[in-house]
Amino acid sequence: MDVAQASGFSPSTASIVLNEAPLSKYVAAKTKQKIREAAHHLGYHPDVFARSLRSQRSHMIGVLVIDLADPFCTLILQGIESKLLPTAYLPVIMDAHNQPHQLERYLEMMVERRIEGLITVANWLLFDISLLKDIHNRQIPTVVVGRDLESPTVKSVLVDNEAGGYAAIEHLFELGHREIAFIRGPKRLGDSRVRWRGIQCFAKTRGLKLNPALIYDLPGTTGSNSGFDGGLRLTNTILRSGERFTAVLAFDDLTAYGVIRALSEAGRRVPESCSVIGFDDIPAAALSTPGLSTIQQPMRGMGEYAAAYILEHLEQGSEQGIEPLLDTYLMAPTLAVRGSTAKNQKLEAIESDARQP
C-alpha cells in the first residue's frame, strides 16, 4: 500500500486507520492524522478487487428484470436504486428481454459475480422458480417484486391485488356503471385471480350482477405488449358479440390501451360512450389523452421495500440463523382518477327520468 510508504507507517497500521477497524482506537491521533492526510493527498481508493478477494464480499445486489421496456418495471427500479444509493451496495441490473435463456444466463453471471442479494422484478409468467435453486442454495436473500411467485423460499412484495380489484369496480360502480365488461389477466397468473376475487367481493356486497358474457381472459402469452394486443382483440370480440356495456375493467394499463384503441376504431369514444379503467399506473397513463384512470401500484414503494429487506438481511444478517418472515408483503393501491372514466350517461338519464316522470 503506497499510502503506508508515503506516511512512513506500515501497511497494516494504514489499513487499520483507513477502515476505522476496532483496533484503530489504539492508534495515536497523530498517526491517524498523518495517514489520512497521505491517503487524501494521494487520492487513495482501496482496490475493490483485492478487498473483495479478501473479504469474499462483492457488495453487489442483483436486480433481475423481465423486461426493461415494460414501464411497470422502471419505477420499481428507481425505488430500489434510491434506497441503495446511500449504501455501499451497487445494484446490478439485468434485463432478460422476456427471454428465458437470457434470464438463465444472467442468473449464472450473478452467481459467478457473487451477488449478495437478489431482487427480481417479475411481472412474468414464464419465470421458472427452479432457476432460483442455485441462488437459494447459496443462501442469497431473495425478494420478488410485483407479482406473487408463490414460492416458499423467497419473500414477495406486491400490491394488494384484491383491494385493487375492489377499488377499480367500486369506482366504476359509483359512476353509475352497471353493465361492465371485464378483461381479466391470464388464468395462470395469481394476480389475476386475486383481483377478480376483489371484484367479486364488491359485486356481492353491493348486489351487482356480473354478466358472464362480458368476462374474458387474456391468453397466457408473453412479449412486450401482449397486453395491448390482447385488449384490442378481446374488445373487438365483445363488440361483435353485441352485449351491451358502458365500461371496461382491464387487467392492466397496457390492456386498457388496447381496449381504448378497439373502442375508438369502433366509433365509441372514451369516456363519453364507454369508461375504461386499468391497473398499474404506468407513466404513459398520465400522458395520454384522455388520461387513463387506473389503480396505482406503489411501485417506488415496493422497490424501496425490497431493497430495504435485502439490506436488513445483509447488515445484521448471516450470523444468526435467521430464517425470518418469508411471508408476502402487501402494499395498498390507490385509485387514480383521470379522464378515461366518466359518469354513465344512460344511467343519469334513467335516474332523472325516474325523478321527473
Partner DNA sequence: TTGTATGCGTTATCAC
Partner DNA sequence: GTGATAACGCATACAA
Residues interacting with DNA, by CB under 7 A? 1, 8-13, 15-16, 18-19, 21, 23, 26-28, 30-31, 44-47, 49-51, 53-56
Using CB under 8 A as the binding rule, whether residue 236 contacts a second copy is answered as no
3 state SS for 297-327: CCHHHHHHHHHHHHHHHHHCHHHCCCCCCCC
> What is the DSSP secondary-structure string of 147-168?
S----TTSEEEEE-HHHHHHHH
Within positions 264 to 293, which residues make up the interface with a second copy, using CB under 8 A? 264, 270, 283-284, 286-290
Q: Which is nearer to DNA, 54 or 240 (CB)?
A: 54
Q: Name the binder of 219 from a second copy, DNA, none, CB < 5-8 A by kind.
A: none
In angstroms, give the least distance from the CB of 48 to DNA. Answer: 8
x/- site string to a second copy, residues 102 to 141, per CB under 8 A? x--x---x-xxxx---------------------------
Measured between its terminal Cα atoms, the distance across the chain in Å is 94
C-alpha closest to that of 333 among 279, 288, 287, 284? 279
Minimum distance from residue 83 beta carbon to a second copy (Å): 12
CB of 49 to DNA, least distance (A): 7
Which residues, 6+ apart, have CB-to-CB distance to 87 below 8 Å? Answer: 311
- C-alpha Rg value of the chain to the nearest Å: 27
β-bridge pairing 180-184 and 215-217: parallel
Q: Which is nearer to DNA, 18 or 292 (CB)?
A: 18
Q: How far is the CB of 250 from a second copy (least distance, A)?
A: 13
Classify residue 98 by its DSSP letter: T
Sheet holding 117-121, edge to edge: 90-95, 60-65, 117-121, 142-145, 155-159, 328-331
C-alpha neighbours within 13 Å on the C-beta side of residue 293: 24
Distance CA 293, CA 75 (A): 18
Residue 283 contact, options a second copy, DNA, none, Cβ 5-8 Å cut-off depending on partner type: a second copy
Binding residue (CB under 8 A) for a second copy from 23, 42, 90, 332: 90
For residues 10 to 29, the per-residue mask of contacts with a second copy, x marking binding by CB under 8 A and - elsewhere, is --------------------
Contact between 249 and a second copy per CB under 8 A:
no
Sole residue written with cell 430495504 = 308
19 neighbors 38 (Cβ within 8 angstroms): no
Q: Where are the alpha helices (DSSP H) in 56-127?
A: 71-84, 100-112
Instruction: Identify the three-state secondary structure at position 190.
Output: helix
Considering the complex, state which of residue 210 and residue 295 has its C-beta at the smaller distance from a second copy.
Answer: 295
Of 166-205, binders to a second copy (CB under 8 A) are none
Partner that binds at residue 325, options a second copy, DNA, none, CB closer than 5 to 8 Å by kind: none
What is the C-alpha to C-alpha distance for residues 113 and 107, in angstroms, rounded to an integer? Answer: 10
- Cell numbers of 119, please? 431482487
Q: Name the minimum Å distance from CB 42 to DNA.
A: 10
- Nearest approach, Cβ of residue 337 and a second copy (Å): 16
- Return the SS3 of 331: strand
- Grid coordinates 400522458 are at which residue? 287
Residue 38 Cβ vs a second copy, minimum distance, rounded to whole Å: 19
149 lies in the binding site for a second copy (CB under 8 A): no
Contact set with a second copy (CB under 8 A): 45, 47-50, 52-53, 56, 58, 68-69, 71, 74-75, 77-78, 81-82, 85, 90, 92-93, 95, 97, 102, 105, 109, 111-114, 224-225, 228, 254, 257-258, 260-261, 264, 270, 283-284, 286-290
